[in-house]
Amino acid sequence: MNWKSLVTLFGLSMKKNTSKNINSDDPEEYYSIAMKKMSENDETCAMDYFNKTIGFDDTHSFAYYHRGLLNFNLKKYDRSISDFNKAISLKIVYDKECFDMGLEKYFSRDFEGAKKLFSQAVVNPIFEKLHYNNGLKSFKESDWLDAIQHFDKVLELSTSGFEAYYFRGISKFSLQNYNEALQDFNNAINLKPTEGSPYYYRGKTNFTLENLNEAISDFDKALLLKQTEPDIYFVRGLAKSIIGKKDEATIDLLKASDLGFEKATVLLNRLRR
């Protein structure tokens, strides 16, 4: 039985905006809603709440800065730079070197590069957390594309994003973007080399890409780090069977079967016929 028929037969897989009416003169409440709407990509509503924040408090540096990011995203570049300059004049804490690099990108018309640097120049932990929570919610609902968009934003805002790489990798695997998933799992492992879960999922990804020896190595590492999923033994057994290690493959399949993994039992019965 070849690799493609095994994948087909045993199907390896991984597994609305609402308006809030408020009646308040508190600019922080409007600002919080604006940030939430921005994290949900509801740009019209976010702009409205940033404007309300500034209407109640024209010294709110974060509101100016994030309205600037929103304007930049809307390609209203002059308004964006004006908002950034206002935030800086109000003494917002920011990474000047990062911001100046963003300006260089902007003036050279590299707008995507500029947007990323402007986003990184003022890191608001609340905004990063909103995107992470929204991404996790979409992930749990198997809304893979939306999850990826939110984890993309987390990784723009964070210098260490193990969870974002990890969950984005599973999302990409689920969308069959295997090479991109592999890179995310590599990044997660680089950040936390003693965490077992990324090895497990990277092993599945390597198996799907027919990188069988790498898959076996990943499953070995996952087991060493106390991962307990029975399909580790199953998929490692498939990989060993394909490369000709029949005895070792049988041991793995028996272990998976003993752990209650039904597909392993089915395959063992087929091999015994």
pLDDT band at 50 (very low <50, low <70, confident <90, very high): very high
Class assignment of domain 136-272?
mainly alpha
> What is the DSSP secondary structure assignment for residue 14, as one 8-state letter?
-
The per-residue pLDDT for 93 is: 74
Please write the tens of the pLDDT for every residue from 126-164. Answer: 667 777 888 888 999 999 998 898 888 888 777 568 999
Based on its alpha-carbon atoms, the radius of gyration of the chain, rounded to whole angstroms, reads 24
- Residue 91: Cβ within 10 Å count: 9
> What is the DSSP secondary structure assignment for residue 4, as one 8-state letter?
H
Tell me if 27-122 shares its fold with 136-272. yes
Write the secondary structure of 147-165 as one string of H (helix), E (strand) and C (coil).
HHHHHHHHHHHCCCCHHHH
Domain ranges within the chain, ordered by starting residue: 27-122, 136-272
Averaged confidence pLDDT in the chain: 85
List of residues 6+ apart from 182 with CB closer than 8 A: 169, 202, 205, 206, 209
- Residue 247: Cβ within 10 Å count: 7
The answer to pTM > 0.75 is no
Please write the tens of the pLDDT for every residue from 25-43. Answer: 788 888 888 888 888 889 9
- Residue 58: Cβ within 10 Å count: 12
Amino acid at 26: D
Class assignment of domain 27-122?
mainly alpha
> What is the DSSP secondary structure assignment for residue 90, as one 8-state letter?
T
List of residues 6+ apart from 19 with CB closer than 8 A: 45
State how far the Cα of 255 lies from the Cα of 265, in Å rounded to an integer.
Answer: 10
Please check the confidence at residue 192 and state whether its pLDDT lies above 90.
yes
State how far the Cα of 60 lies from the Cα of 75, in Å rounded to an integer.
Answer: 23
Find tokens 């990011």 and name the residue: 69
Closest alpha carbon to 185 in 202, 206, 160: 202
Please write the tens of the pLDDT for every residue from 69-120. Answer: 999 999 999 999 999 999 999 888 778 888 899 999 999 999 989 988 888 7
Say how many residues make up the chain: 273
